A and B are shown apart, each in its own frame.
Chain A
């Protein structure tokens, strides 16, 4: 199976590997991120040179709170790999990977916009999808969904996250 084979090749350099549902996930520390990405790209047997997506997930109450996930693909071999980095709540900073993968530019801006994770070394880290003067980071689990009550046939129905039924 390709996922297991890929996991074995990767495990030598990066021991924290999880294989699930035919996918390989490698977990590294924030300080090893750029080195890991360079290594995964330059290793001829792996050749993971295409970054599909950069995103984050918020797990409030857990440590680390934010998990940033990088989806890599190899154009030559056709492998997929996910690289994850955990960030603590009080310190949501991570080096930007734009020097290696310029495509991460807008992905990182979106992650900053939604979660407030600061990417050090990003050329222009500003809000991208929300208005420039928006306050707050809406996709964090601690933020509300927003929206107003809907008036329908005399009743006021709150937005989804406020409904008690």
Chain B
């Protein structure tokens, strides 16, 4: 199953590639590209896909104490057509799989997926018939946030890593 490896804290890694990309594609397009990528990460709206205990921590992250509004993300869109980020928060049961895939397919490009909690990332403590052992078997995942449930600070760190990824590795399509 495909696993996206972020590596260590090489936040500048994308910058080396970006320089080559710029030279190849010309300065105008790459500046536009940088602007688009910056805009995408500035206000990424999540779709409400809270399933279980992690959903409560996600709501706590969006509430007053750990505020997601500082990154423009407090607005959880109910409709996937208006969202660009899906935070799969909680255990995904077998019955939920087609729903998960349908909601993912309904999201317009570009879209990203954060798998929040160990249950979504790898099945968690529930290695049994009922829980899907990792949502990366169903949708491509960009960031895995472990924890049972992850503290809001952990989820925020995952979101910030996603923002870094979007800012440095995206491509103008």
On A, residues with C-beta under 8 Å from B are: 130-131, 134, 138, 144-148, 150, 159-160
Residues of B within 8 Å of A, CB-based: how many? 11
**A106→B92 CA distance, assembly (Å):** 22
A130 and B127 form a contact (CB under 8 A)? no
- Please tell me if B128 contacts chain A, counting CB pairs below 8 Å: yes
- Nearest CB of A to B101, in Å: 14
On B, residues with C-beta under 8 Å from A are: 94-95, 122-123, 126-131, 133
Looking at chain B's contact residues, is the secondary structure mostly helix, strand, loop, or mixed?
loop
A147 and B133 form a contact (CB under 8 A)? yes
- Which A residues are CB-close (under 8 A) to B130? 130, 138, 146
B127 and A159 form a contact (CB under 8 A)? yes
B128 and A146 form a contact (CB under 8 A)? yes
- Which B residues are CB-close (under 8 A) to A150? 122-123, 127, 133
Nearest-neighbor residue (CB-CB) of B137 within chain A: A148
27 A-B pairs (CB sep. < 8 Å): A130-B94, A130-B95, A130-B130, A131-B95, A134-B94, A138-B129, A138-B130, A144-B129, A145-B127, A145-B129, A146-B128, A146-B129, A147-B123, A147-B127, A147-B129, A147-B131, A147-B133, A148-B123, A148-B127, A148-B133, A150-B122, A150-B123, A150-B127, A150-B133, A159-B127, A159-B128, A160-B127
- Which A residues are CB-close (under 8 A) to B95? 130-131
Nearest-neighbor residue (CB-CB) of A148 within chain B: B133
- Which A residues are CB-close (under 8 A) to B128? 145-147, 159
**A131→B122 CA distance, assembly (Å):** 21
- Which B residues are CB-close (under 8 A) to A148? 123, 127, 133
